Structure 1
Amino acid sequence: MKNEIRFTHQFLVESSKSGDRTAQYQLYELYVDAMYNISMRFLGIKEDAEDIVQDSFVDAFRNLEKFKYESTFGAWLKRIVINKSINHLKVKRLPLATMDDHEFHLTEEVECEKVDAMEILKVKSGIEKLPIGYKQIINLYLLEGFDHNEISDVLGITTSTSKSQYHRAKKKLVEIINTL
């Protein structure tokens, strides 16, 4: 069924595959802001995020023949941006939080009540103060919607490490928010 969401912008993608620069620019315009926001959540440095987004689009357009509509173009591009952002952090050799290979038994999530703008700002500020390893897990799991299996693939860690790091990151985030 061609009306499925994964075929969103199919005309632009197919035109871009055949070298249509106008179609490429239109795809760029459609996705650049979202991809920049994703990269900023990981890197926190405007210039680095801009560079990663530009490199991601260049790579995406060079490899469009590999895009087979198994997902939406946006999801495929998002994966490129996330991988490039993480690789950028690895190259910079930023210190990562230690990860132990034991699993935690997680309790049920606390049900959220009405959240106002100040609480959202506190959470955003708290995420920014997390160690980079914790920040990556929180961004991938909560903001990007990755599951622990996907996170383990992206970061090159075990699924149980992803779960334990998420648990620790969440605990640390609550501590930080309570001090704000």
Structure 2
Amino acid sequence: MSLEQLIKQCKKRERKAQEELFKLYSNKIFGVCLKYSRSKAEAEDNLQDSFMTIFNKIEQYNFKGSFEGWIRRVAVNTVLQKYRKEKESLFEITSKEIEDVVEVDIDNSEDVSLDYLLDLIQQLPDRYRLTFSMYVLDGYSHKEISELMKISEGTSKSNLARARMILKTKIEEDGLKRKVESL
């Protein structure tokens, strides 16, 4: 069965088609959810919530553009919406605090594994983790982040700077030396 046929059946709310679509894309969407979650268990919850939203909104997909891109966007928006409901408040950090971020002297000879970095990213406070993941891992602009998270562009930049500072500090504390600025 083609992807187009599968999507059309999902639009008719056919259970078997939904199961097939879930099997086809769950690993990729889980990867997206994992980047935005504090733990694997939370990522699994976010995956389920994302697919519920995908199935509820699939009739909005108009076969223009990549379907995978569309479901990734739905997943990110679902996680962000959940985050917005949970957050109490975002605090602004001043430009002076951003300027005070000290660069890390990093030696490229030691390896920082992807799993290690993902673990550190998951430990970041929500506002920093989400901003960092969206900007660095998914390539969103600060303008897009500000619109999706309902924060100012300045706050997005501040959150990113603070996330980088926290990650650099944790890596230094663990005794690892490697170029982190490219994160």
TM-based fold match above 0.5: yes
Letter in 2 for 1:81: A
How far apart, CA to CA, are the structure 2 residues paired with 1:138 and 1:58?
A: 26
Aligned residues: 167
Letter in 2 for 1:35: I
2:129 aligned residue: 135
Letter in 2 for 1:140: M
The answer to whether the 8 Å contact 2:36/2:79 transfers is: yes
Letter in 2 for 1:174: K
Paired residue for 2:55, among 58, 61, 70?
A: 61
* 1:54 CA drift (Å): 1.9
2:22 aligned residue: 28
User: For the aligned residues, what is the CA RMSD?
Assistant: 3.2
How far apart, CA to CA, are the structure 1 residues paired with 2:30 and 2:4?
A: 22
Q: TM-score, normalised by structure 1?
A: 0.74
Q: Give the 3 Å change call, closer, same or farther, for CA 19–126 of structure 1 in structure 2.
A: closer
1:99 aligned residue: 92
Paired residue for 1:163, among 157, 160, 166?
A: 157
Q: Is 2:24 aligned against 1:39?
A: no
Paired residue for 1:89, among 61, 83, 86?
A: 83
Q: Percent identity?
A: 27
1:18 aligned residue: 12
Which of 19-28 and 132-141 deviates more? Answer: 19-28
How far apart, CA to CA, are the structure 1 residues paired with 2:109 and 2:21?
A: 36
Gaps of 5+ in 2: 100-106, 175-183
The answer to whether the 8 Å contact 1:102/1:160 transfers is: no
Which of 62-71 and 87-96 deviates more? Answer: 87-96
* 1:102 CA drift (Å): 5.0
Q: Give the 3 Å change call, closer, same or farther, for CA 18–125 of structure 1 in structure 2.
A: closer
How far apart, CA to CA, are the structure 1 residues paired with 2:109 and 2:80?
A: 33
* 1:113 CA drift (Å): 6.1
Letter in 1 for 2:159: Q
How far apart, CA to CA, are the structure 2 residues paired with 1:9 and 1:56?
A: 19
Q: TM-score, normalised by structure 2?
A: 0.73
